[in-house]
């Protein structure tokens, strides 16, 4: 098989040529993905996305002799995209349970404060202050715009301040929970 001719045909829209090129490099593509990703399912997802992207953008390849390098770069980018997505996925139940790792009275006070807030307010404060999430990460996890997160955070802080003042007032007057 003349790879350069196949690439030129594939660039002109010949699906059979593109399929032949993918068959030629499928082992290399898999090996590259397996060195980056550990799970076979993730490798399969990365390869599927890479093949799809390569098919739709093969017309942008300027030099047919660089097809293999171009294709492998697409595979690598898809693998790294999967890794980035996996890092950002956080179980909200897990965040809620692991938020109180501190020892002593600080942990009790924080837990007490958060228990008096709505679940959403408590979650936003935990993600931002305890888990050190950025606004962008929180927006991604909660699937809302960044400005919405800023608003939720501002309101949650305000409600937490009110709650602290109420507890201080109650404590000073001798009324405890």
Count CB neighbours of 135 within 10 A: 15
3, 60, 85, 146 from 81: Cα distances, Å: 29, 21, 6, 21
Residue intervals of the chain classified under CATH 1.10.10.10 are: 92-172
What is the pLDDT tens value at each position of the chain, 177 positions in all?
788 999 999 999 999 999 999 999 999 999 889 888 888 999 999 999 999 999 999 999 989 988 998 999 999 999 989 988 887 765 555 554 444 444 444 555 777 777 788 878 888 887 788 777 788 888 877 778 999 999 999 999 999 888 888 877 777 776 555
Class in CATH terms, 92-172: mainly alpha
* CA Rg value for the chain: 26
Question: Residue 49 has which token pair?
Answer: 């996305």
Looking up tokens 């919405």 gives: 148
Residue intervals of the chain classified under CATH 1.10.1740.10 are: 3-88
H or E stretch covering 113: helix 105-115
CATH code that applies to domain 3-88: 1.10.1740.10
Q: How would DSSP label each residue in 41-100? A: HHHHHHHHHHHHHHHHHGGG---GGGHHHHHHHHHHHHHHHHHHHHHH---HHHHHHHT-
């Amino acid at each position: 098989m003349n790879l350069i001719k196949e690439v030129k045909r594939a660039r002109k829209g010949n699906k059979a040529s593109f399929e032949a090129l993918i068959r030629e490099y499928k082992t290399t593509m898999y090996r590259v993905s397996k060195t980056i990703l550990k799970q076979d399912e993730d490798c399969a997802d990365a390869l599927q996305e890479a093949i799809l992207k390569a098919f739709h953008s093969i017309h942008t390849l300027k030099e047919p002799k660089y097809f293999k390098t171009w294709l492998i770069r697409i595979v690598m980018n898809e693998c790294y995209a999967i890794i980035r997505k996996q890092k950002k996925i956080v179980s909200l139940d897990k965040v809620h349970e692991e938020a109180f790792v501190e020892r002593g009275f600080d942990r009790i006070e924080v837990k007490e404060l958060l228990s008096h807030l709505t679940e959403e307010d408590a979650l936003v404060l935990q993600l931002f202050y305890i888990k050190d999430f950025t606004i962008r990460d929180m927006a991604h996890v909660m699937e809302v715009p960044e400005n919405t997160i800023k608003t939720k955070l501002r309101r949650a802080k305000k409600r937490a301040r009110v709650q602290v003042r109420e507890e201080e007032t109650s404590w000073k007057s001798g009324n405890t929970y």
